[in-house]
Each structure stands twice: as structure tokens, then as C-alpha cells.
Amino acid sequence: MEQPLKSEAKKYGLILGVTLAIMTFAAYKINLDLFVNTTYGLLIYAIVIMFGFFAVYKSRVSTKTLLSFKNAFSAYFITILIGLLIHTTATYILFNFIDSHAALLLKDKSITELTLVYKNMHMSNQEIDKMVGIVKSQNLYSLKNCFTGMVTSYLLPLSIIGLLIAAVMKKK
């Protein structure tokens, strides 16, 4: 990947990361329920996709040519990776060093939401109790869980979307 493309991707990745970190701290201050709210989660997805698309677009404009698929996807991926790393680090710091009590409250809220989802799926009480026991035994905001969640919940699905964006934005 060419240097101007990398610098564009890094710049938008930093802006994305700061935006997501600000959203995280704002959600923390406004209402902890936002962290278990589907709409808030979808908003994060939308913002990440927009920043990734914008990074590809700006990279394409800055080179004054159409990008190869590889360069288009690289611009997208670098942007979202940097942004999500900053977001995940901010979340980890918030719930492990600034306010670990909030992490416990969120665990209880997550268990409540999880129980409702499993009941709607007609799971047995034994299965629900087993899943709740697993959640209770873990620190949802441990370093391992934060970064595993970042990869499985954000990076992988958003990378698939990035492949589609790169296919659209590449040279023909």
C-alpha cells in the first residue's frame, strides 16, 4: 500500500477512534443502559462503516486514480482497525480503572437481556441457568474479553462489509 493511502487511513482511523471513545464516555455519563441497547450498537456499526467508506473514498481521490481492490480494502481495514483499537482500549480503561462498579452493573444488565433473549428462543431454564452461570463467572471487560469481542463482534463482520466496499470502489 502506498504511503499517501496509509496516512489517509491512519488519519481517519484516529478520528474514528476518538469519535468512538467520546461516544463511549458520553454513553457512560448519560445512561449505562445504552451499552446493552441494540440501537446504540447499530449506531457504532454505522459510524465505523461510514468512516471506512470515507477513508477509501478519500484515498481514491488523493491518488486521482481508481484504487486496486487490495488498496481499497487496506484503506478500509486500517481505518477500522485503528478506530476499534482506540475504542476498545477506552472501554477497557473505563470499566477496569475508572469505574469497575459500572462493569458489574452492566454485567447484571447483560444477564437480564440474555435471559430475555433465551426465553424468547424457548430455551429450557436449565440451559438458561447454564449460560447465565458462564456470564456470571467472567469479567466482561477483561483485556481478553474486550479484544476478543472487538475481533468477533466488530472487526470480522465489518471486514466483510469492507470487502464489498472495496469491490465497489476498486478500478474496473
* Inter-residue contact 132 to 111 (CB < 8 Å): yes
In a domain, 104, yes or no: no
In a domain, 83, yes or no: yes
In a domain, 120, yes or no: no
pLDDT tens across 29-49, in order?
999 999 999 999 999 999 999
Backbone angles phi, psi at 112, to 5 degrees: -60, -45
What global pTM score does this model have?
A: 0.92
Domain that holds residue 94: 3-99+141-169
Q: How far apart are CA 50 and CA 20, in angstroms?
A: 13
pLDDT-above-90 percentage for the chain: 83
Backbone angles phi, psi at 67, to 5 degrees: -85, 155
In a domain, 95, yes or no: yes
Within 13 Å and on the Cβ side, how many CA atoms surround 54? 13
State the cell numbers at 162: 469492507
* Inter-residue contact 51 to 16 (CB < 8 Å): yes
What residue type is 25 in one-letter code? F
pLDDT tens across 85-121, in order?
999 999 999 999 999 999 999 999 999 998 999 999 9
CB neighbour class for 79 (10 Å; exposed up to 12, middle 13-18, buried from 19): buried
Q: How many C-beta atoms lie closer than 10 Å to residue 64's C-beta?
A: 6
In a domain, 154, yes or no: yes
In a domain, 121, yes or no: no
In a domain, 113, yes or no: no
- Going by pLDDT thresholds of 50, 70 and 90, the confidence category of residue 61 is confident
- Going by pLDDT thresholds of 50, 70 and 90, the confidence category of residue 73 is very high
In a domain, 23, yes or no: yes
Structural domains of the chain, count: 1
Q: How far apart are CA 9 and CA 80, in angstroms?
A: 9
* Inter-residue contact 20 to 84 (CB < 8 Å): yes
State the cell numbers at 51: 468512516
Q: How far apart are CA 172 and CA 168, in angstroms?
A: 9
What residue type is 167 in one-letter code? A
pLDDT at position 172: 60
